[in-house]
Amino acid sequence: MANISFFFPEKRKGFALGLNAAGGNIGVAAAQLFVPLVLAVGVLGAAQADSPKALYLQNAGLLWIPLILASAICAWFFMDNLTVANASLRSQLVVARRAQTWVMAVIYIGTFGSFIGYSAAFPLLIKTQFPTAAVAGITGVKLAFLGALVGSLSRPLGGWLADHKGGARVTVWVFAGTGAGVIGVLAALETQSFPLFLGSFIALFFMTGLGNGSTYRMIPAIWRSQALAGVKGAAADAALRRARTEGAAVLGFVGAIGALGGAFFPVAFKLAGVGAVSTAFYGFLAFYALCAGLTWWCYLRRTFLVERAPSLAAAAV
């Protein structure tokens, strides 16, 4: 992600980063769809001698070996490593001292963290809350991969919208949409409606995908706007180069924090207990409201208290 960000101009980075990340995110859906299938397939004919109900857990790992090898070969022969993207560990760790890094990390937990967390929890929630549910003869658990699939495919759209409408503006609407999705899930749990539960969760995944794309579009724009503030001439060129390098490092840093944040979503469901998962969703609803407010305060606020606490609204990130 840090490498390819140098290949595209600012106005196209959202879609480019979103398209690249969608390929990675879709692996979650692939795992949920294909791993259960290969667990029942014997290796080297061993299934003929064993019980037909035997599980071959090693297949969960073997499934990925061809893809890993293909990725390694393509990276070796075809990936363009840009020298301008190279940076020492010390220079990359500088971004941890930037306030905007941590602001974006919190926001990214709300988008990518939600995607990762919901992807992990969705099958279990279906199994515990709607154990007998089915759609067109397909059990609910087998439909769980649709969430991660929709969330992956919507990420490029989020980046494209951010390129054209502004990342912060799209992100605020994303959190409004995720809030609406949570309300739908709460209503489904209250009425025990699996169609509403499934539809609301698919909407949640769709919105998190949009948010993943829009937030990653915001990061290069934020660092560019801060680097060019009050700087002209040759100094501006040097500041812009430094900003692009730091911005690339932030993509990785924020991505790691967001993925780590995703671990809290399944934990929240576990702490709430099988019979009280609504409690966790109320907590998520409050967190999305916080993320929306943080995005507005830092990147969209134009008049309210701007003299005391300036925002980046003028930069249209």
| Domains of the chain: residue spans and CATH | 4-315 (1.20.1250.20)
How far apart are the C-alpha atoms of 203 and 144, rounded to whole Å?
A: 13
> Quick one: pLDDT at residue 150?
96
First CA to last CA across the chain, in angstroms?
19
Residue 307 in 3-state DSSP?
A: coil
Residues 6+ apart with CB under 8 A from 207: 154, 174, 177, 178, 181
> Quick one: pLDDT at residue 115?
96
Residue 153's nearest CA partner among 22, 58, 282 is 22
How far apart are the C-alpha atoms of 31 and 207, rounded to whole Å?
A: 21
As a whole number, the mean pLDDT across the chain is 88
- 106 vs 44, which has greater pLDDT? 106
Q: Is the pLDDT of residue 85 over 60?
A: yes
How far apart are the C-alpha atoms of 65 and 69, rounded to whole Å?
A: 6
Query: If you search the block for the tokens 């990061």, which residue do you land on?
Result: 219
Residues 6+ apart with CB under 8 A from 6: 82, 84, 85, 244, 248
How far apart are the C-alpha atoms of 166 and 171, rounded to whole Å?
A: 9
Q: Is the pLDDT of residue 313 over 80?
A: yes
Across the strands, what pairs with 2?
A: none
CB atoms within 10 A of CB 185: 26
- Average pLDDT of the segment spanning 109-135: 92
- Average pLDDT of the segment spanning 234-246: 80
Cβ(225)–Cβ(312) under 8 Å? yes
Across the strands, what pairs with 135?
A: 138
- 98 vs 85, which has greater pLDDT? 98
Residue 40 in 3-state DSSP?
A: coil
- Average pLDDT of the segment spanning 124-146: 87
> Quick one: pLDDT at residue 109?
96
pLDDT band at 159, cuts 50/70/90?
A: very high
> Quick one: pLDDT at residue 53?
63
Q: What percent of the chain has pLDDT over 90?
A: 50
CA angle 139, 141, 147 (to 5 degrees): 120
Residue 195 in 3-state DSSP?
A: helix
- 174 vs 8, which has greater pLDDT? 174
Tell me 42's DSSP state. Answer: P
Residue 153's nearest CA partner among 51, 275, 21, 256 is 21
> Quick one: pLDDT at residue 277?
92
Cβ(261)–Cβ(113) under 8 Å? yes
pLDDT band at 134, cuts 50/70/90?
A: confident
Q: What percent of the chain has pLDDT over 70?
A: 94
Q: Could you tell me the two tokens for 98?
A: 């930037």
- Average pLDDT of the segment spanning 165-185: 96
